[in-house]
Amino acid sequence: MATAPSRDPKKPFLSDIQEIRRRARQHIEQGAVIENYKADLETSIRVLNEALATEIVCVLRYKRHHYMASGIHAQSVAAEFLEHAKEEQGHADRIAERIIQLNGAPNFSPDGLLMRSHSEYVEGETLIDMIKEDLVAERIAIESYSEIIRYFGDKDPTSRRLLEEILANEEEHAEDMKTLIETLGEGARSA
Ligand SMILES: [Fe+2]
Ligand SMILES: [Fe+2]
């Protein structure tokens, strides 16, 4: 088996530390955004704003479902919706923080919110409709965030990692909704 050539231990790991130090002193008003930022900054901010809109729509939909489920005395489902709403709010906050780090402006405008969002706002008639709509929204987020993660790749590892963490949470949400559908389905059959 061929072994990879080992690095010369006497040489520094970084390509050119003098050049890195010189660049760091330039444009310090850019904060965390370095001259060598590898992704297209404008695209990164636009993509993050779309993810932000997706999260806000998910907060609104889960909140609506929480209150509707409370109204029909489906307390455990209502509690699950509320927990998801809070987690989606946390995602929105973390994405907005990242946009600020990239010297962008988080877009919280209700104008065009549904256009920017990947997921939809569907109210649903019955409890099972609501859960199904939430599962669909989670599945949309899972697919669109996976694509965003591929875009960031190694060009912006911080944004990639943030989206990877959020993606893992969306997968848990989808699993929760699937379990609820199964549980309610069984309840309906045995009733
Ligand atoms: Fe989310
Ligand atoms: Fe979610």
pLDDT of 126-162, one tens digit each?
Answer: 999 999 999 999 999 999 999 999 999 999 999 999 9
Buried b / exposed e along 94-128 (16+ C-beta atoms within 10 A): bbbebbeebebebbeeeeebeebbbbeebebeebe
* Ligand 1 centroid distance, CA of 26 (Å): 36
* Distance from C-alpha of 77 to C-alpha of 25, rounded to nearest angstrom: 54
* Ligand 2 centroid distance, CA of 48 (Å): 16
* Ligand 2 centroid distance, CA of 189 (Å): 28
* Ligand 1 centroid distance, CA of 100 (Å): 19
* Ligand 1 centroid distance, CA of 24 (Å): 34
Nearest ligand to residue 55 Cα: 1
Q: Using a pLDDT cut of 90, give the percent of the chain over it.
A: 74
SS3 21: helix
| 71 touches 129 (CB < 8 A) | no
Whether residue 191 has pLDDT greater than 50 = no
* Ligand 1 centroid distance, CA of 168 (Å): 10
Angle at 10 between CA 7 and CA 11, to 5 degrees: 65
20, two tokens:
């890195």
* Ligand 1 centroid distance, CA of 141 (Å): 8
* Distance from C-alpha of 47 to C-alpha of 118, rounded to nearest angstrom: 11
pLDDT digit string (tens) for 33-80?
888 898 899 999 999 999 999 999 999 999 999 999 999 989 999 999
* Distance from C-alpha of 121 to C-alpha of 114, rounded to nearest angstrom: 8
For residue 54, count other CB atoms closer than 10 A to its CB. 27
Whether residue 9 has pLDDT greater than 80 = no
